[in-house]
Each structure stands twice: as structure tokens, then as C-alpha cells.
Amino acid sequence: MKSKFSIYIHWPYCLSKCPYCDFNSHVSKEKIDQDQYSSLIKKELDHYCEVMNSKNISSIFFGGGTPSLMDPSVVYEILNHIEKKFKFDDKTEITLEANPTSVELDKFRHYSDFGINRVSIGVQSLNDIDLKKLGRNHTSKEAIRAIEIAHQYFNSISIDLIYSRPGQKINEWKAELLQALALGTHHISLYQLTIEPKTTYEKLFKSGKLILPNEELSRELYLLTESVCKDYSLFKYELSNFSKKGHESIHNLNYWNSGEWVGVGPGAHSRIENKDGERISIINEYDPRKWQEYVKMSGFSSIKKQNLSQENICDEYILMSMRTSKGMSVNKYTDLGGHLDKTKLKSLTAGGYIKVNKNTNYLQITSKGSIISDFIISELAL
């Protein structure tokens, strides 16, 4: 049986730059040449088709930026090309990230006709004042409409929400979350507002004009989210992700379980096994213009390519898999050459922060441990 892998396609443009965001997203002054983008993505995919062994695809993800700015015909062409070059079927999860503005909603039907079966909507908040502060160019009403329309076309709907926002109160967050859950989404990605380097929010934060909730309140907001989601049968399967049974993101699980993926487009990353069986990490050129030039010239845009050592592979596996509720396979970690420090294991277990599932031999972070997960993971990985 052929092994499986995922494909990530990066669309690097947005209508405006949100003040908290440091993703590789750009506001283009010129009209975007979507046909050119499509042909270069196909060219970069062809490159990977040549360097990898033939494999089936388990998931495809159009991320951004704002991929819902893509013409549906471009999505169609790219998927059509992938189908010819690699193999996928009806079970392949095909996600597109969408911003909930009305212009983008008109395209949902076409995306669905062309094979998208999962949509990830950037709702962020259902509080209009906070949406403005986050620099979003949609209202809560538009976000709700987006979810309603998505129900008509997609089997699986995920929403992104940002919590731990300035001035956020427990009761208000509970009401907002309940409102979001009542809309019947199958999956929630919940991100704690983070101050990223070189963003407008960083300047505001440093000058004292933006004050975030303290650690204690952030924890309370997180724990509340976990219990409210559970009441709606959305279970935590990764530290920031909650899902109804059967709606866990196949694409993200592949990242967390150290699978293989090809990333095309500006700034996309890849982890692939080459024809000699070596695991390679690749980072593409970030700047959309330079990316175009590189792909035109040589068919690919990598600016960093590294053969991963066994130690690198072990580190990535523990760092990513310990974020999932299933945890890390101790057998797999050991087979990769990893060593767990017995003293640290003993003390974290005695404190109730981690446990080993005796049936599966997976090491897991407990509910108590989840609020200090970064500390636990760094303790175990070092």
C-alpha cells in the first residue's frame, strides 16, 4: 500500500493586514494575476512530483493569507492538476480557509462544486467592538451568515476564534462561545491572542496602549472553553483544537504526528521523504514576487533545505505529538532514538500533569497539565 501525505497551498494575499497577524500575508497594490499564480503553483507541484515517490494524498489545505479571495476557477485548476499528478479520492479532506465577508460567501457554492469539502472560517469573535479592534473587515452578523451558508455546501465546518483579548470578561466570553457553538460548527480552533514580533499590536503592547488579560484569567478562559465545548460534544483533541467525533482535521493531525507534507506557494514549508528515504525540511521563499521569479526560473522556490537528523526528527515528534490528546507513542519515540528522562517523567506523573495510557503506551498531558503544556513539553524534550 502506498503511504499517504498532505499538500498545503499558500495564498499570500489579504484585503488588509490585521494588526495582530504575522502570517505571510500581504496587501497587494496591484491586481493579482490569478492565472499566473495558478500556473506557478502547478509548476511547483510538478517539481515535488518528480522528487518524491508516488503516494496517495490524505488531505489538501488551501491556507493563507485569505484563500477565499481565490477565483473558484483557480481552485478547480489546482485540484484538477493534483488529481492528475498524485492520487486522491472522495475521502481526501480538502479544506479552504475563508474570511467571512459577503463577497467571499458567494463563492462557497463553486468551491464545493470543485471539490472543497471542509471550510475553515476566520470568525475570530462575535463581538463587533472587538472585531473592529482586531482590525477585521467583517461584522459578527456576516460571520454568522458565513456559517449558515457553509452548512449548505460543506460536510465539515471549522471556525477560528481568538480569546484572551484585551478587556475580555469570563461571562462575556461564555456567552460568545455559546452563541458560536449554537451555530452548529463541527470544529473550533481556539487561539490565545499572542503578541507577535513586528506587528502593530506589538507596538501598542510595548507602549502600554494594549493590555492583555493576565495569566490567571487566560487560564480560566481556556478551562471554561474546554468545558463549554464538551457540553456541545466538541472534544479537545489538540491543545487549541476541539472537534465533534469524526471531524478532527486530518491535515493538522498529519503535522502533529510527523507525517509527510508538501507545501507550495510563498513561505510554505514541507517535510518530505526523498527517493533515498531521507526526511527533508524545506522552506519556500516568503516574498510573493521573489517566489514567482524563483518558480518561473527553476520550478521551485526553496530558500532553505535541510536533511533532518534523527535527533531533529525525534524533537519534532515529541514537540508536536504531545500537543494532541492522544499523546505521543512511546514506542515510536524510542524507535526514532529518543530518550525520556525518568526523573522528570516520575515527577510530572506524580504531580498529575502527565500519564501513560497503559493500553496504547502513549504518553499524554492530563487536563491539569494542559494549562502548563508548554512547560511540560519543553521539560520532556530537553
Ligand X SMILES: C[S@@+](CC[C@H](N)C(=O)[O-])C[C@H]1O[C@@H](n2cnc3c(N)ncnc32)[C@H](O)[C@@H]1O
- Interacting residues toward ligand X by CB under 6 A: 20-21, 23, 63-64, 66, 97, 99, 122, 124, 160, 162, 191, 193-194, 196
Q: Closest separation between CB of residue 146 and ligand X, Å?
A: 10
Distance between CA atoms of 47 and 49, rounded to whole angstroms? 5
In the list ligand SF4, ligand X, none, the entry touching 17 (Cβ below 5 to 8 angstroms by class) is ligand SF4
Any idea of the CA torsion for 266, 269, 270, 271, to the nearest 10 degrees? 170
Beta-ladder partners of 302? 284
Q: Say if CB 78 and CB 112 are below 8 A apart.
A: no
Q: Closest separation between CB of residue 65 and ligand SF4, Å?
A: 5
Distance between CA atoms of 323 and 316, rounded to whole angstroms? 11
Q: Closest separation between CB of residue 20 and ligand SF4, Å?
A: 7
Q: Closest separation between CB of residue 218 and ligand X, Å?
A: 12
Identify which of residues 18 and 314 has a Cβ nearer to ligand X in the complex.
18
Identify which of residues 122 and 327 has a Cβ nearer to ligand X in the complex.
122
Identify which of residues 34 and 349 has a Cβ nearer to ligand X in the complex.
34
- Tracing cell 465539515 back to the chain, one arrives at 156
Distance between CA atoms of 292 and 299, rounded to whole angstroms? 10
Report the interface residues with ligand SF4, using CB under 6 A.
14, 17-18, 21, 23, 25, 64-66, 99, 122
Instruction: Give the residue from 60, 63, 139 showing the smallest Cα distance to 105.
Output: 139
Q: Closest separation between CB of residue 172 and ligand SF4, Å?
A: 22
Identify which of residues 138 and 271 has a Cβ nearer to ligand SF4 in the complex.
138
In the list ligand X, ligand SF4, none, the entry touching 232 (Cβ below 5 to 8 angstroms by class) is none
Identify which of residues 77 and 97 has a Cβ nearer to ligand X in the complex.
97
- Full strand arrangement of the beta sheet holding 118-124: 235-238, 241-243, 187-192, 156-163, 118-124, 93-98, 56-64, 4-11, 261-264, 269-273, 279-284, 302-307
